[in-house]
Amino acid sequence: MAKKPRIYLYDSTLRDGAQTSTVNFSVKDKKEIALMLDKTGIDYIEGGWPGANPTDDEFFANLPKLKKSQFCAFGMTRRINSSAANDEGLNALINSGVKNICIVGKSWDFHLKNALNISDAENIAMITESIAYINKKQREAFFDAEHFFDGYKDNPKFALNCVKKAYEAGARWVILCDTNGGTLPSEIKQIVSQVIKIIPGENIGIHCHNDTGNAVANSLAAIEAGARQIQGTINGLGERCGNADLISLIATLILKMNYDVGIKENELKNLTKLSHFLDETLNKERNKFAPYIGEYAFAHKGGLHVSAINKNPKCYEHIKPEIVGNKRKIMISDQSGRANIISRLKEIGLNLNDQLKATQISDLVNKVKDQEAKGYAYDSADASFEILAKKSLNLIPNFFDLISFKVIDERSLDNKGNIEAMAEAIIKIRIGKKIIMSVAEGNGPVNALDKALRKALSRRYPMLKKIKLTDYKVRILTPSDATEAVTRVQIESCDLENNKWSTIGVSTNIINASYLALYDSITYKLIKHL
């Protein structure tokens, strides 16, 4: 079957997604997310709003190099009664250095009368002069027509005129926004069909919010009506109920509708990773029920379902889970766990038949299951998985034994009345026959413990001086087999060669959970030097 036309993907996770309550991206987060989006093959990445806050300024001043995606800077049309060339906001966008600039403007006359108090003519001038200025500076202009669908429903002539003038002024893309998220798919399809009569579909984009749970359906309706760019966010992040979820959209456009989105079918397996990566960055619980990439998207529990699935998975699965990087989960059999573990062992260079016996695999499957029941999650802690696997196969020597540690946490007032918090850790370990004790201070108990442990080890293992902890995340959970809550600590470490690895520790005690994650982090570095 011939591919349908090219649909361009525009990700606004770093801007619209950052407006989600509870979300706060650092510059480092933004860089890492942008690189993941690039790897996935997204066309445009909205990096943020230069000139609006220090994080976005710093981000745009140090943009990571991308292979495929292009950055887009977001902002708004020039201010009322000023000139585009002298507009501080517009110039901040131009000076951000990126080629694509997306500006938002009004297309609902209700806003003109009730919020801005400006004339139709001034609104059109704000749109067209800003777009002309962006073009004059040799940038591509994207126009986000805010509240376009509400505007169209109230006053179609006015709304259509706003987008027509934006297109005529030279906008590469005119994006129709369902800003309040209240429009339904049938309305979107009908309204976009009207816009297509005055602006070519190749220049029309769609931006939907999920306030009726229809953001994905609305975006697809606009595509069916002829729009060619979709804006959305990873995991549907965004204000209120979120934006259209790009993960569902990408998979659906390719697998169900046969559109060309610039991503090959065999690259779709990155989607699950991308979704998990964003959750981990935000320290957010995964949505296990998410379409395509959720843990339960291909989970089968009922006996009847499971026996049918064993005969032919098509009985209860709309696609093969591997296509999107997910996996089948059969709750009453360990088959899926086993296959998963075999494939992860392959990733770390251990092959069945070769070094591994079937019984060893079974032991490891059971071990992983026990650990997961306690609250461990190895999907996001590759290094801890590798250590668990190699330990159970006796492939790791005993680098050191912990004899004991003690952490003292202190909080006091200094003579100026400021609160001072500090911690001290004392640790005793054994390397071979030698017992080593060390003490270190830190700004918190984990920092002190990390310093003391590495101090004790660094004479024998000098390479440990070169690692640093780059991230530390704590989550409280209640695992399925426990009655009391436990703490899961995840640590990200990095060495001088910029290798990164992630480790995990689980315990009812936060310091002990941190120690377990630190232990794995250090052990991982040591096995890489074997």
| Cβ atoms of residues 444 and 410 within 8 Å | no
Token digits for 371?
């650990």
Q: How far is the CB of 437 from Zn ion (least distance, A)?
A: 57
CB of 261 to Zn ion, least distance (A): 20
Position 150 contacts Zn ion (CB under 5 A): no
Q: Is residue 11 a contact partner of residue 42, using CB atoms and an 8 Å limit?
A: yes
Nearer to Zn ion, 13 or 128 (CB): 13
Q: Which region, judged by CB under 5 A, interacts with Zn ion, from 15-23, 40-48, 130-138, 333-341? A: 15-23
How is 358-404 classified by DSSP, letter by letter? Answer: HHHHHHHHHHHHHHHHHT--GGG-HHHHHHHHHHHTT-S----EEEE
Comparing CB distances to Zn ion, the nearer of 105 and 321 is: 105
Question: Would you say 142 or 376 has its CB closer to Zn ion?
Answer: 142
> Residue 288 is which amino acid?
K
> Degrees (nearest 5) of the Cα angle 101, 106, 112?
150
How many CB atoms lie under 10 A from the CB of residue 445? 19
Q: Which helix or strand (DSSP H or E) is residue 106 part of?
A: strand 100-106
Candidate segments 10-18, 42-50, 257-265, 513-521, binder of Zn ion by CB under 5 A: 10-18
Nearer to Zn ion (CB atom), residue 18 or residue 449: 18
Q: Please state the closest distance from residue 209 (CB atom) to Zn ion, in A.
A: 6
- Tell me the C-alpha distance between 233 and 255, whole Å: 19
Q: Select from 9-17, 330-338, 367-375, 441-449 the region that touches Zn ion (CB under 5 A).
A: 9-17
Supply the minimum distance, in Å, between the C-beta of residue 115 and Zn ion. Answer: 17
Nearer to Zn ion, 148 or 524 (CB): 148
Tokens of 136: 């004059």
Cα(52)–Cα(55) distance, integer angstroms: 9
Handedness of CA 213, 216, 219, 220 (dihedral sign): negative
Six-digit token pair at 242?
């979120």
Q: How far is the CB of 243 from Zn ion (least distance, A)?
A: 6
Min dist. Cβ of residue 345 to Zn ion (A): 43
| Separation CA 476–CA 488 (nearest Å) | 6
| Amino acid at residue number 389 | A
Q: Largest Cα–Cα distance in the chain?
A: 85
The footprint of Zn ion on residues 339-368 (CB under 5 A) is none
CB-wise, 16 or 386, nearer to Zn ion?
Answer: 16
Q: How far is the CB of 231 from Zn ion (least distance, A)?
A: 8
Q: For residues 234 and 526, which CB has a smaller minimum distance to Zn ion in the complex?
A: 234
H or E stretch at 306: helix 303-311
The size of the interface with Zn ion (CB under 5 A), counted in residues, is 1
Write out the binding residues for Zn ion, residues 81-120 only, by CB under 5 A: none
Minimum CB distance to Zn ion, residue 179 (Å): 6
Residue placing its CB nearer to Zn ion in the complex, 16 or 56: 16
The answer to the question of residue 16 lying near Zn ion (CB under 5 A) is yes
Task: Give every CB contact of residue 28 below 8 A, 6+ residues apart in sequence.
Answer: none
Residue 125: CB minimum distance to Zn ion, A: 24
Count other C-beta atoms under 10 Å from residue 493's C-beta: 23
**Dihedral in degrees, nearest 10, Cα atoms 525, 283, 270, 239:** -160
Nearest residue (CB) to Zn ion, 16 versus 492: 16
Q: What residue is closest to Zn ion based on CB?
A: 16
For residue 12, the minimal CB distance to Zn ion (Å) is 7
Site pattern 239..268 for Zn ion (x: CB under 5 A): ------------------------------
Q: Give residues 461-520 in contact with Zn ion (rule: CB under 5 A).
A: none
Q: Which stretch binds Zn ion (CB under 5 A): 14-22, 68-76, 362-370, 492-500?
A: 14-22
Amino acid 246 reads: L
Cβ proximity to Zn ion: between 102 and 427 the closer is: 102
How far apart (Å, rounded) are the C-alpha atoms in residues 222 and 257?
A: 13
Cβ burial of 421 (10 Å; 0-12, 13-18, 19+) is exposed
Q: Which residue has tokens 């209640």? A: 478
Contact status, residue 133 vs residue 84, Cβ threshold 8 Å: yes
CB of 242 to Zn ion, least distance (A): 10
| Cβ proximity of 452 and 405 under 8 Å | yes
Nearer to Zn ion, 208 or 377 (CB): 208
CB nearer to Zn ion: give 16 or 424: 16
Q: How far is the CB of 207 from Zn ion (least distance, A)?
A: 6
Task: Report if residue 38 touches Zn ion, rule: CB under 5 A.
Answer: no
Residues near Zn ion (CB under 5 A): 16
